[in-house]
């Protein structure tokens, strides 16, 4: 492991905004995020697969009356997001280093207000279909930890993942598609819903002329 990564992991271990394996708070905050972590009752929004944390930080900066969490398994990415939040002086954002399939160990039923999935790995091979973040087992997890009526958002450049997600939602009892578009920036009326905060991936694909797909939905 490089020295820079070692320094970043050491910094993560000292940052109270980062919840990760080895810390006392890991797996002890389910049902306690409001009281013990954020110390307020503001609604909590989770970004699953937050990468470098640009979207999580962007949401936290835009909505100071909310709480925001970025989830990723990579400690180096978590360090970048938490550093960005520190540079901006944000106190309403935190980070959870874990895998998406372990969500139920970290959140109580109905604890979250909203979930964002921004530019996830599309897992295009059929053998990886169960790893897609909109596969039914993940939707079950999201539904479990979201409050009734809580919304989910997916932004992606990938046509295959977008089609798969729409088909999965259409086949799921109780799922409701609230809004969708295959070209977000050609659908300006949806931009307020989709939050025009752009990650590195989003800027890259827009520069290449790749349309950004977006769907907002509920599970019940």
Residue 200 labelled as part of a binding site: yes
Among left, alpha and beta (phi > 0; psi -120 to 50; other), residue 27 is left
Residue 202 known to bind ligand: yes
Whether 183 is a known active-site residue: answer no
Name the domain count of the chain. 1
Q: What is the DSSP string of the chain?
A: --HHHHHHHHHHHH-TTEE-TTSTTTT--TTTIIIIII-S---EEEEES-TTSHHHHHHHHH-TTSEEEEEES-HHHHHHHHHHHHHTT-SSEEEEES-GGGGGGT--TT-EEEEEEES-----SGGGGGGSTTSHHHHHHHHHHEEEEEEEEEEES-HHHHHHHHHHHHHSTT-EEEEEES-GGG-GGGHHHH-----HHHHHHHHTTPPPEEEEEE--
Cβ distance 58 to 197 under 8 Å?
A: yes
Domain with 77 in it: 3-219
Annotated catalytic residue, options 36, 41, 121, 128: 121
The pLDDT assigned to 45 comes to 98
pLDDT of residue 1: 66
The per-residue pLDDT string of the chain (220 residues; one tens digit each, 9 = 90 and over) reads: 678 888 999 999 999 999 999 999 999 999 999 999 999 999 999 999 999 999 999 999 999 999 999 999 999 999 999 999 999 999 999 999 999 999 999 999 999 999 999 999 999 999 999 999 999 999 999 999 999 999 999 999 999 999 999 999 999 999 999 999 999 999 999 988 888 898 888 999 999 999 999 999 999 8
pLDDT of residue 192: 86
Residue 214, domain CATH: 3.40.50.150
pTM of the model: 0.96
Q: Is 72 annotated as a binding residue?
A: yes
Asked if residue 47 belongs to a known ligand binding site, the reply is yes
């Amino acid at each position: 492991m490089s020295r820079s990564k070692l320094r970043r992991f050491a910094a993560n271990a000292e940052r109270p905004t980062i919840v990760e394996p080895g810390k006392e708070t890991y797996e002890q905050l389910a049902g306690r995020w409001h009281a013990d972590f954020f110390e307020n009752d503001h609604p909590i929004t989770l970004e699953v697969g937050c990468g470098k944390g640009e979207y999580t930080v962007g949401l936290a900066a835009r909505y100071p009356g909310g709480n925001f969490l970025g989830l990723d398994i990579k400690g180096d990415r978590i360090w970048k997001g938490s550093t960005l939040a520190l540079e901006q002086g944000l106190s309403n954002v935190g980070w959870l280093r874990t895998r998406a399939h372990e969500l139920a160990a970290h959140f109580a039923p109905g604890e979250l207000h909203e979930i964002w999935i921004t530019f996830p790995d599309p897992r295009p091979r059929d053998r990886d279909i169960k790893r897609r973040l909109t596969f039914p087992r993940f939707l079950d997890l999201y539904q479990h930890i979201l409050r009734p009526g809580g919304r989910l958002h997916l932004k992606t450049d990938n046509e295959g993942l977008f089609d798969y997600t729409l088909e999965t939602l259409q086949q799921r009892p109780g799922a409701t598609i609230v809004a969708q578009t295959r070209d977000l920036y050609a659908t300006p009326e949806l931009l307020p819903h989709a939050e025009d905060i752009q990650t590195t991936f989003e800027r890259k694909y827009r520069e290449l002329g790749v349309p950004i797909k977006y769907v907002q939905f509920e599970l019940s």
